[in-house]
Amino acid sequence: MFALSHTQTLQLNDQGQLRHYLSIDGLSRELLTELLDTADSFLEVGARSVKKVPLLRGMTVCNVFFENSTRTRTTFELAAKRLSADVINLDISTSSTSKGESLFDTLRNLEAMAADMFVMRHGDSGAAHFVAEHVCPNVAVINAGDGRHSHPTQGMLDMLTIRRHKGDFAGLSVAIVGDILHSRVARSDMLALRTLGCTDIRVIAPKSLLPVGIEQYGATVYHDMNAGLKDVDVVIMLRLQKERMQGGLLPSEGEFFRLYGLTQQRLALAKPDALVMHPGPINRGVEIESAVADGEHSVILNQVTYGIAVRMAVLAMTMSGQKTQRQLDQESEA
């Protein structure tokens, strides 16, 4: 596991703009709001007959995914192409990494291909930070999920979903339900909600699926699903990450659904206009029943659509921050 250090300094240029996008931790409400506003403006691009703008023309974005992904990798690819960038998708299963090449050597080889931006997913917490600390100064790094630590673009697409359906975050009650322990999405959502002014953040989970120190995120812990869902505005269900679990955390999937699965009956405890969200992939009958996942409260597919716009915003803002920093460096050397 790589060390997580000086995230804020690493992410921002000398004018407070993004030059890497690694974590929501340390970013200001103003910057997160700018990101959401920029994403809002990009939603219109997806409705055009020609879904392209020239902001990243001539730039090369490299998707480097050390873990499997469908929605995140695909929406990053679409986002980069809609910004007119060239895109390289590195298949780690067939790359030299599978033959023992180190992360550092993989990085140097990608730099030699003149990539301008790395979009990176890795199973180790802090991997994107490690790359950002060692990458060439003119290359941007976007964290597409690292271990249990952070998934900052998912966090912001969740925030865009909430804002477009609920408006201001102040006064909202948001419940995050399920496998909090292994969820980088939960951590990013809690950080973003707190930064954007949400004061009632609830986490609902069995004790075995809660991390130590959950209180630092400003969340209230519930072990009873019914109590936790009472009068909430938003319910964010999480996938059970069985691939990260060791034995003994759960008696069975059936028992988990009985106690923590989102059913129509349980959803009735929330406010009548409550949103139902899920980062995917959905395990129907384990975390959520189909009638809820496909029901009138569900905005799960909206999240995917908004994800393209948020990732366009992150790519555009980060590349702009890199350009500004290069100009500042050149001026200081002159």
Residue ranges at the known binding site for carbamoyl phosphate: 71-72, 121, 151, 154, 280-281
Residue 40's CB is within 10 A of a number of other CB atoms, namely 16
Q: Tell which residue, 162, 232, 151, has the closest CA to residue 197.
A: 162
Measure the CA–CA gap between 328 and 334, rounded to whole angstroms.
10
Residue ranges at the known binding site for L-aspartate: 99, 184, 239
Q: Tell me the C-alpha to C-alpha distance, in Å, between residue 169 and each of 222, 321, 325.
A: 21, 27, 32
Say what the alpha-carbon torsion angle 65, 67, 72, 73 is, to the nearest 10 degrees: 40
Residue 330's CB is within 10 A of a number of other CB atoms, namely 9
CB 34 within 8 Å of CB 314: no
CB 298 within 8 Å of CB 179: no
Strand, helix or coil for residue 128: helix
DSSP 298: B
**Of all helices (H) and strands (E), which one includes residue 221?**
strand 219-222
Residue 331's CB is within 10 A of a number of other CB atoms, namely 8
Tokens of 151: 């998934």
Q: 183: Cβ–Cβ under 8 A, 6 or more apart, which residues? A: 148, 238, 239, 241
Q: Tell me the C-alpha to C-alpha distance, in Å, between residue 3 and each of 24, 139, 173, 272.
A: 17, 21, 33, 44
Residue ranges at the known binding site: 71-72, 99, 121, 151, 154, 184, 239, 280-281
